Structure 1
């Protein structure tokens, strides 16, 4: 598929609709990280894994309502050139894709596969966020054990001055965040890839045959009969690389901005 796209469209083919997609991905990520922050604030930190799992569920629950329409439109744009419809050029803009979805299916068309999408991204987040938090905590405590006398800070409350460990956000080196993120994202991608294969099939079928309603289990059964278990691993390598790279960039940006905001909010000595 990659070589076919490169031969027919060259490098521009890989960036078709990039600018328009960015305009929608930004608010989607805003919702996701807002959900993550809300989850961190409403769950008691001493709950450990339960707190991380709850945070993951809240983040995905909020983001899912925004991600699904964006993902439907994105899949339509990116797969249009490979569908081979007679009389069509294969080049579809984001606006054209959205208009086509609305014409054929109305508002429901933007949420087609919503349950399947959350069946993918909810488990992905339930794996990713707890493992990401655990990775950061392990690194943080290891760093404290090695350099505790160098990193302890004084905390003043009224007339009482005591030593306390510095916040994880300020102590860990910035490169630790994308490293933790890429490893945990790759792990979550491997675990949930079969669901992603089914989700993609459902969304492609909604483009090629918009008048018919497909369901996840029949599509999964058909794939198993035609391609065996190997069909559920198709595209695994590309997805692992994509998820690891994308997560490391987005979470690095998030952690960097958060660190800068904490520095601005910190009281002056």
Structure 2
């Protein structure tokens, strides 16, 4: 229970909005910081994933680890972080909206629709993920375009130039939402399963092994939270399960985002068309699941850091 809710005197008309805004800001910051920490941790792996998913001609003959070593040789060490500026601009609001929306949707489902238990985590997580995607998708598009570029073969000079080029040459605002449909379809199970798995593992751990896995919350000793290393483990498991199920849709999303800069762009006009083309041309392992081994390596620490940082920020900002 938050400190605002424990005030005994009735709130005045002037104080209530201020307190609500302050709580909203703290919640927004907690999610944003969690997202930034998670993505910064695995930024080089994200760059390699995009290069492999979309079959970049400079690296398509290489595997995950050989690409990790080839990029610094060809583009310098900072080449591993290409597109990360756009990612940070996107991920702060994305993480903030996703975590904050999850808490809001969870309460809404419980109070308004009577949906409780484990199922409300799954539904709330799916809704939160899709909400965050819709709000920040243009930034994800820009980040993918910049990360796909290779030194010496560049179409965009930076974030602003990429925005201007896509807007002027690819249909205005709609150009920023290319690939949105498979993204939303993939985000529903991914975000839903992530929050569902993490929340379920946390509940089971704290209810069955409270002394072994739990510790008092920093801002509210009456609340029990998972120990840091247990949080990391639960977040990693949640990310691995969610990625396995939704990964082919992530591949389709990337190819649609990059369709105008790929030589086979005419074959990636819709989600179904792209799915059929990738499957027919490259198969399951080298097409729909290309780069999955890298995704396991990146999604485990990413989700682990995201959930752990968010839980820590909630304590630091007195959200419990």
**TM-score after normalising by structure 1:** 0.80
**Counterpart check, 1:92 vs 2:179:** no
Relative to structure 1, the CA distance from residue 210 to residue 72 in structure 2 (aligned partners, 3 Å threshold; closer, same or farther) is farther
Q: Residue 173 of structure 1 aligns with which residue?
A: 227
Structure 2 CA distance for aligned equivalents of residues 61 and 29 of structure 1:
12
Relative to structure 1, the CA distance from residue 89 to residue 202 in structure 2 (aligned partners, 3 Å threshold; closer, same or farther) is closer
Q: Residue 238 of structure 2 aligns with which residue?
A: 184
* Structure with greater helix percent: 1
**Counterpart check, 1:7 vs 2:76:** no
Supply the RMSD in Å over aligned alpha carbons: 2.9
Structure 1 CA distance for aligned equivalents of residues 154 and 282 of structure 2:
30
CA contact (8 A) 2:145 2:258 kept: yes
Structure 2 CA distance for aligned equivalents of residues 20 and 64 of structure 1:
15
**Over 3 Å off, 4+ runs:** 88-92, 144-148, 206-213
Structure 2 CA distance for aligned equivalents of residues 72 and 178 of structure 1:
29
Structure 2 CA distance for aligned equivalents of residues 129 and 12 of structure 1:
33
| Residue deviations 1:131-153 (CA, integer Å, cap 9, x gap) | 111110111112238799x98xx
CA contact (8 A) 1:81 1:91 kept: no
The alignment of Structure 1 onto Structure 2 pairs a total of residues equal to 244
Structure 2 CA distance for aligned equivalents of residues 43 and 7 of structure 1:
51
Q: Give the number of the structure whose alpha-carbon radius of gyration is greater.
A: 1
Relative to structure 1, the CA distance from residue 174 to residue 145 in structure 2 (aligned partners, 3 Å threshold; closer, same or farther) is closer
User: How far is the alpha carbon of 1:253 from its aligned partner?
Assistant: 1.4
Q: Residue 157 of structure 1 aligns with which residue?
A: none
**Counterpart check, 1:49 vs 2:105:** no
Structure 1 CA distance for aligned equivalents of residues 156 and 80 of structure 2:
12
Relative to structure 1, the CA distance from residue 147 to residue 115 in structure 2 (aligned partners, 3 Å threshold; closer, same or farther) is closer
User: How far is the alpha carbon of 1:184 from its aligned partner?
Assistant: 0.9
For structure 2, which runs of at least 5 residues remain unmatched after alignment? 1-58, 60-66
Q: Residue 253 of structure 1 aligns with which residue?
A: 309
Name which structure has the greater RCO, CA cutoff 8 Å, separation 6+.
Answer: 2
Which residue of 19, 28, 51 corresponds with 2:85? 19
